[in-house]
């Protein structure tokens, strides 16, 4: 499902992961490309930020304490104001069954860790371009 531009405030990207190094790597790579990035170290805070900020894309770690990424994905997709949000699940679990579980929970894509930050940037570029946001400089300015 492609996000609807009117459903989001600009091209903001939210990254929810309980590993600081993942937050730093994605934030750095996406910010360097010109995107505005918000981060969260846990699902509860991440969901609150998603509700408040209504990002175009949310990255969700599949395995987090208390609330995992699968439940987080379902919660995002169940909320009317977030249902069009493009969700990319990140996980160290790369088996087909894990990928299918992520997609069934509502993820639009599933990226296996470790990943290339360049690959992630290119996926974000493609998603936001397809959604009509244009280039990063047009998205955030």
**Helix, strand or coil, per DSSP, at residue 77:** helix
Give the per-residue pLDDT at 131: 80
Q: ω into residue 8 within 30 of 0, thus cis?
A: no
- Alpha-helix residue ranges (DSSP H) falling in 36-108: 43-53, 69-78, 96-104
Mean of pLDDT over the chain:
87
Residues 83 and 106: their CA atoms lie apart, in Å, by 9
More confident residue, 136 or 49: 49
pTM: 0.86
Q: Look up the CATH number of the domain holding residue 15.
A: 3.40.50.2300
Mean pLDDT, residues 51-80 = 94
Q: Show the domain range for 106.
A: 5-140
The total of structural domains in the chain comes to 1
Q: Give 21-51 pLDDT, tens digit per residue.
A: 999 999 999 999 999 999 999 999 999 999 9
Give the per-residue pLDDT at 62: 95
- Alpha-helix residue ranges (DSSP H) falling in the chain: 20-33, 43-53, 69-78, 96-104, 117-130, 136-140
Dihedral in degrees, nearest 10, Cα atoms 80, 85, 90, 94: 80
């Amino acid at each position: 499902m492609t996000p609807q531009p009117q459903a989001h405030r600009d091209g903001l990207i939210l990254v929810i992961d309980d590993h600081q190094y993942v937050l730093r790597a994605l934030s750095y790579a996406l910010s360097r490309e010109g995107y505005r990035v918000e981060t969260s170290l846990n699902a509860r805070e991440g969901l609150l930020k998603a509700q408040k900020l209504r990002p175009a894309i949310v990255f969700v770690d599949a395995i987090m304490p208390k609330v995992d990424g699968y439940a987080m994905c379902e919660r995002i997709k169940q909320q009317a104001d977030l249902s069009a949000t493009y969700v990319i699940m990140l996980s160290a679990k790369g088996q087909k069954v894990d990928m299918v579980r992520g997609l069934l929970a509502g993820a639009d894509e599933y990226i296996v860790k470790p990943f290339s930050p360049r690959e992630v940037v290119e996926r974000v570029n493609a998603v936001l371009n397809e959604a009509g946001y244009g280039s990063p400089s047009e998205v955030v300015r």
